[in-house]
Amino acid sequence: MEKWGVREDLYNLASDLVWSAQTVEDLRAARNILIINDLRARLENSYFEFEQVDRRLREEYPVIEMLEREIESNSDAFLPEACDGGRFYGSMEGMTTDARELHLQKLYADTRGIYADVLLKHRQIQCLEEFINALPLY
C-alpha cells in the first residue's frame, strides 16, 4: 500500500515521528507539512504564493532536491521541473490541468523530502537510497 508515493510503512513511521514532535526539527517538519496540506487545499479553490513556499522548503530541506537528483539519475521517473522560474499567483480557474498537476507533484515531492529528512535524522534509514528503494516506479 502507498501513500504520497511512499510505501505505507515508511510513510506511517515518518508521520509518527513528525507528529510525536520529539525534537525542534520534528516540530518544524510538522509545521511545514501543515503548510503543504493548506497549499494543497487552497490549490483547489483559492489564490496562494506556491513558488515562495516551495522555494523556502527546498532551502530548509536540501534533501528534497538531493532526493529528486538521486531518483532522476537512477531511473526514468518523472520529476517536475521548476514552474516558469517565478512565483505563481492564481486560482484553479486560471490554471491548466498540466500546471495544477505540476504544482501538486512538487508539493508531494516536498512532503517526501521532509519525511526522508525526518527518517534520516531519527536514523530510521541510513541513506536516501534506502528511501528511494521504497518509492514506487513511475
Q: Using one digit for the tens of pLDDT, what is the confidence trace for 6-46?
A: 567 887 888 899 999 889 999 999 999 999 988 887 775 54
In a domain, 138, yes or no: no
Q: Using one digit for the tens of pLDDT, what is the confidence trace for 42-73?
A: 775 544 568 888 899 999 999 999 998 887 77
Distance CA 69, CA 73 (A): 6
Residue 17: enclosing H or E segment and its boundaries? Answer: helix 8-20
Domains contained in the chain, number: 1
pLDDT of residue 50: 81
The domain in which residue 94 lies consists of 2-133
Residue 82: band (very low, low, confident or very high) from pLDDT cuts 50, 70, 90: very low
